[in-house]
């Protein structure tokens, strides 16, 4: 049962961070944050985890686009079109 309550708490924190709680739930959660330091620490940890996941996703997308760009540069027609556009 402990695992279920921990998962519920993670879900609730996710909802809070995403702004998906209704007004009443948000008020209750905000009050819990003020009263429960452990919960506030968990929220900050989860916020940091979300931030890291977003950064990693951007890094992955940037690498994919860079790979595609390098591949396209090996295509002579594409490279020639680029040169004509920017010269």
Task: Give the model confidence (pLDDT) of 24-40 as tens digits.
Answer: 999 999 999 999 999 99
Q: Which residues, including other chains, have CB under 8 Å from residue 85's CB and lie 6 or more apart?
A: none
26: left (phi over 0), alpha (psi -120 to 50) or beta: alpha
Question: Whole-angstrom Cα distance, residue 3 to residue 78?
Answer: 54
Least confident residue range of 20-24, 43-47, 62-66, 69-73: 69-73
**CA gap 76, 62 in Å, rounded:** 23
In angstroms, the CA 65 to CA 87 distance is 23
Confidence of residue 2 (pLDDT cuts 50, 70, 90): low
Q: At 80, is the pLDDT very low, low, confident or very high (cuts 50, 70, 90)?
A: confident
CB 32 within 8 A of CB 39: yes
């Amino acid at each position: 049962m402990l695992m279920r309550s921990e998962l519920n708490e993670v879900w609730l924190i996710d909802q809070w961070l995403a702004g998906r709680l209704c007004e009443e739930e948000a008020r209750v959660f905000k009050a819990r944050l003020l009263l429960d330091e452990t919960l506030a620490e968990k929220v900050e940890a989860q916020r940091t985890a979300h931030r890291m996941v977003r950064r990693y996703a951007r890094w992955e997308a940037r690498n994919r686009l860079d790979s595609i760009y390098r591949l396209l540069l090996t295509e002579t027609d594409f490279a020639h079109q680029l040169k004509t556009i920017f010269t």
